Chains A and B, each alone.
Chain A
Amino acid sequence: GESVGLHLPTLSVQEGDNSIINCAYSNSASDYFIWYKQESGKGPQFIIDIRSNMDKRQGQRVTVLLNKTVKHLSLQIAATQPGDSAVYFCAENLPYSGAGSYQLTFGKGTKLSVIP
Chain B
Amino acid sequence: NAGVTQTPKFQVLKTGQSMTLQCAQDMNHNSMYWYRQDPGMGLRLIYYSASEGTTDKGEVPNGYNVSRLNKREFSLRLESAAPSQTSVYFCASSDNGWNQPQHFGDGTRLSIL
A contact residues vs B (CB 8 Å cutoff): 3, 5-8, 31-32, 34, 36, 41-46, 49, 51, 89, 91, 93, 96, 99-104, 106-109
Contacts and interface: CB of A to CB of B under 8 A. Distances in A.
B26 to A, nearest CB: 15
A43 B42 contact: no
B106 A102 contact: no
B99 interface: yes
Q: Which 5 A-B pairs have the closest CB atoms?
A: A100-B50, A43-B104, A6-B40, A106-B43, A108-B42
Contacts of A8: 40
Interface string B29-57: 00101000001111101001111001010
Interface in B74-113: 90, 94, 96-107
Contact of B48 (A6, A31, A103): A103
A45 B104 contact: yes
B31 A43 contact: no
A103 B45 contact: yes
A93 B97 CA distance: 11
Contacts of A5: 40
A103 B106 contact: no
Contacts of B49: 101
A86 to B, nearest CB: 13
Q: Give the interface SS of chain B, mostly helix, strand, loop or mixed.
A: loop
Contacts of A42: 106-107
B108 to A, nearest CB: 10
B4 interface: yes
A49 B96 contact: no
B61 interface: no
Contacts of B4: 43
Given A41-B106, A45-B104, A106-B43, A101 B98 contact: no
A32 B102 CA distance: 12
B33 to A, nearest CB: 8
Given A31-B98, A43-B104, 4 more contacts: A43-B4, A43-B107, A96-B98, A102-B98
Nearest to A107: B42
22 contacts: A31-B98, A41-B106, A42-B107, A43-B105, A43-B107, A44-B43, A45-B104, A93-B99, A96-B98, A99-B56, A100-B31, A100-B50, A100-B54, A100-B96, A101-B49, A101-B50, A101-B56, A102-B97, A102-B100, A103-B48, A107-B42, A109-B42
